[in-house]
Amino acid sequence: MVGEIRAVEKSHLADWAYFAHLAWKTEKKKLLAAFSEGKFPNEFLYYIEGEAVAWISLSMRSEYVEGAEQLPIAYIEGIAVAPAFQRNGIAHQLLEFAQSWAKEKGVYQLASDCDMDNAVSQAFHKSAGFEEISRTVHYMLHLDKKG
């Protein structure tokens, strides 16, 4: 399938919020508020015949990124394809777009991450040529709020 990748515009925020929620599980209202505050400057939707069917969120990270040889580094913050359009090469087209985007920014590494239990995302990254750098488990200890 061949589509068109375009930067997210205000008129397509509902489509963007759908995909961002699909990937991050964050409440759509919070996502839209963050978008309006400029916290998502590099968001792109993939269209087929005028319908948004996929999304990718990109950033340039200047802080530590596991395995990075240079900073800043291009980073895939999120990627999602509508269920009816999965397994048609769209995610790989978005990845090619991300690679071009990174090179335009003058960087030559592209990083990403996914949850340890997300086998589909892990398989995608491996099939796309990403090298697994590390695995981590995060913990939290809640302290008594009383002095």
Measured in whole angstroms, the distance separating CA 105 from the mean position of its chain's CA atoms is 17
What percentage of the chain reaches a pLDDT higher than 70?
A: 99
Query: pLDDT tens digits, residue range 116-130?
Result: 888 889 998 999 999
Q: Where are the beta strands (DSSP E) in 67-147?
A: 73-81, 110-111
Domain 4-127 has CATH 3.40.50.300: no
pTM over 0.85: yes
Query: pLDDT tens digits, residue range 96-114?
Result: 999 999 999 999 999 999 8
Q: What is the pLDDT of residue 99?
A: 97
Question: Residue 47: exposed, middle, or buried by beta-carbon count in 10 A (0-12, 13-18, 19+)?
Answer: middle
Q: What are phi and psi of 107, to 5 degrees?
A: -120, 155
Q: Where are the beta strands (DSSP E) in 4-109?
A: 4-7, 43-48, 51-61, 73-81
Query: pLDDT tens digits, residue range 35-67?
Result: 999 999 999 999 999 999 999 999 999 998 888
Q: What are phi and psi of 124, to 5 degrees?
A: -60, -50
Residue 1 in this model has a pLDDT that exceeds 90: no
Give the domain ranges of the chain: 4-127
